[in-house]
């Protein structure tokens, strides 16, 4: 579903072929899936109330910011001033050791069109990131925690940087240009 948004959306191809509901499934068209339409409509109705969006995913230990559908990242051209917000968080928030930070190309070496973060920032001016929580070895089949204690460990390790963002929302919001 995270590849089903209307910025740099790409149809399924040999390059991004995956199973239905797989990691990179883009849908039949941008917003073809009811879940992505629901999130789009929810944010559109509350865009003046929402100051930051975090899309939580599992298995990767990454902090990924827009823009993910192009290489090189042209965030300064598309959304001037926002890269500084993400870089400040990346530098000052207490992330778990080893977290990789940047856009998808910088973090995993691939561009990802139709990304939710890209859409939220480009359309509404709301900073949006994807947090891939935990390391690959903590999960079964890439997404299910090995145990309850591992789940709590992942949450404990990631709570501090989320609290940093929440604690700094006033400063972040002062820099935003909500569309």
The secondary structure of residue 22, as a DSSP letter, is S
Q: What is the CATH number of the domain that holds 96?
A: 3.40.630.10
- Collapse the DSSP code of 153 into the 3-class scheme (helix H, G, I; strand E, B; otherwise coil) and give the result: helix
Is 20 within the bounds of a domain?
no
For residue 13, the model assigns a pLDDT of: 66
Is 7 within the bounds of a domain?
no
Is 11 within the bounds of a domain?
no
Measured between alpha carbons, how far is residue 102 from residues 38, 65, 110 in Å?
27, 6, 12
Is 121 within the bounds of a domain?
yes
Q: Whole domain around residue 152: which residue ranges?
A: 34-174
- Collapse the DSSP code of 23 into the 3-class scheme (helix H, G, I; strand E, B; otherwise coil) and give the result: coil
pTM (two decimals): 0.88
Interior angle at CA 141, CA 32 and CA 29, nearest 5: 10
pLDDT along the chain (179 residues), means of 10: 84 60 73 94 96 87 90 90 93 94 89 90 95 81 81 92 94 77
Is 149 within the bounds of a domain?
yes
Is 17 within the bounds of a domain?
no
**Residue of 124, 125, 143 lying closest to 133 (CA atoms):** 143
For residue 135, the model assigns a pLDDT of: 79
Tally of domains within the chain: 1
For residue 46, the model assigns a pLDDT of: 97
């Amino acid at each position: 579903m995270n590849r089903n948004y209307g910025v740099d959306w790409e149809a399924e191809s040999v390059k991004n072929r995956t199973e239905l509901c797989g990691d990179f499934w883009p849908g039949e068209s941008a917003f073809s899936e009811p879940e992505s339409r629901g999130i789009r409509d929810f944010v559109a109705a509350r865009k003046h109330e929402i100051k930051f969006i975090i899309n939580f995913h599992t298995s990767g230990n990454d902090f990924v910011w827009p823009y993910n559908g192009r290489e090189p990242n042209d965030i300064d051209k598309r959304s001037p001033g926002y890269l500084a917000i993400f870089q400040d968080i990346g530098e000052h928030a207490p992330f778990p050791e080893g977290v990789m930070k940047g856009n998808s190309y910088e973090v995993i070496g691939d561009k990802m069109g139709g990304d939710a973060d890209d859409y939220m920032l480009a359309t509404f001016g709301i900073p949006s990131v994807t947090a891939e929580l935990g390391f690959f070895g903590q999960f079964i089949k890439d997404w299910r925690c090995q145990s309850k204690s591992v789940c709590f460990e992942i949450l404990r390790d990631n709570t501090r940087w989320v609290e940093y963002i929440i604690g700094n929302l006033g400063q972040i919001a002062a820099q935003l240009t909500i569309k």
